[in-house]
Copies of this chain bind each other. A is one copy, B any other.
Amino acid sequence: MTRQELIALIRQRQSFLCVGLDTDLNKIPELLKGQPDAAFKFNKAIIDATIDYTVAYKPNLAFYEAMGIEGLRQLKLTTDYLHSLDKPAFLIADAKRGDIGNTSKSYAKAFLSPEGDFDFDSLTIAPYMGEDSVTPFLAYENKFVILLALTSNKGAFDFQLSVNKENGQRLFENVLQRSLDWGNPDNMMYVVGATKADMLTDVRKIVPDSFLLVPGVGAQGGSLEEVCRYGMNKDCGLLVNSSRGIIYASNGEDFAERAGQEAQKLQLQMAQAMKEHGVL
């Protein structure tokens, strides 16, 4: 999916919601537990119930790898299902990969190649290893690297905010700045946690046009209103992720229906915000 197609989809669905498919076999409803392909069945029900209110899905690889090879098979069933639908969605592999150039090429093939098992539109990348750990992912046309800049967790304060002696910038700002030499808004996005919404102003000074993937609204305590105030641009420029608040809204037979209701609630707030900021 190209950036222009993503922007059109956001306008059409009046939503910039990303549903995090952090599917944990211990947390899915009792009625699915023990069934064959339980993780996929759960994902399929969540997707069917939410896709009208959602523009993106983001499975976090950790939850599938924790189920072993079997988990990756169920992830493939999920991406195959998403590719089969008439309704498009932007697919994010939340994998936080990154390695030396030679090796990153292999990771890029694993997640982004149209001939691979998954054919994701994008994947998240950790920037610690620098340029050659990032650029191999940019070789696939109409696909995106989503670079970690400022994450939503407590550990973000350990290194991401440390100030560089030479240029006075914080590490996450240095990451944003350096990345301008590697990619552009058509092939690169950034992770910025909703729990640090006030810093979105600083982020937007460096990457005004890029999409930001924003986790941390809901369970982690971030505010959608603040994210929009400081982070929205003329194309919207945001994908706001919610995982637990949607997929585990209910643990009963109504889990999919409740997930759909939670997604719709966020979609309505998002439509309102886009109107207020002149995007719609």
CA distance A103 to B244 in the complex (A): 12
The reply on A155 being an interface residue by CB < 8 A is yes
Whether A62 is near chain B, meaning CB under 8 Å from some CB there, is: yes
Q: Is A206 an interface residue (CB 8 A)?
A: no
Of B97, B162, B166, which is within 8 A of A62 by CB? B97
User: Which residues of A from 146 to 200 have beta carbons under 8 Å from B?
Assistant: 148, 151-160, 162-166, 168, 171, 174-175, 178
Residue A72 CB within 8 A of the other chain: yes
A83: CB under 8 A from chain B? no
A145 CB to nearest chain B CB (Å): 14
Q: Write the nearest CB–CB distance from A229 to chain B, whole angstroms.
A: 24
Contact B160 A130 (CB under 8 A): yes
User: Which of B68, B73, B129, B163 lies in contact with A153, CB distance below 8 A?
Assistant: B129
In the complex, residue of chain B having the shortest beta-carbon distance to the beta carbon of A22: B103
Whether B128 and A159, one on each chain, are in contact in the complex, defined by CB atoms closer than 8 angstroms, is yes
* B contact residues around A99 at 8 Å (CB): 60, 62, 94, 96
* Partner pick for A156 among B62, B109, B130, B178, CB 8 A cutoff: B130
Given A97-B96, A148-B129, A165-B168, are A62 and B178 neighbors across the interface (CB < 8 Å)? no
The reply to whether B151 and A129 contact each other, CB–CB distance below 8 Å, is: yes
A230 adjacent to chain B (CB < 8 Å): no
Tell whether, in the assembled complex, residue B157 and residue A128 are in contact, meaning their CB atoms are under 8 Å apart. no
Q: Are A130 and B155 also in contact (CB < 8 A) when A22-B103, A103-B62, A162-B174 are?
A: yes
| CB-CB nearest in chain B for A124 | B99
Verify B155–A24 contact, CB threshold 8 A: no
A126 to chain B: which residues have CB within 8 Å?
96, 98, 126, 128-129
Which residue of the partner chain B has the closest CB to A97?
A: B96
A81 to chain B, nearest CB (A): 16
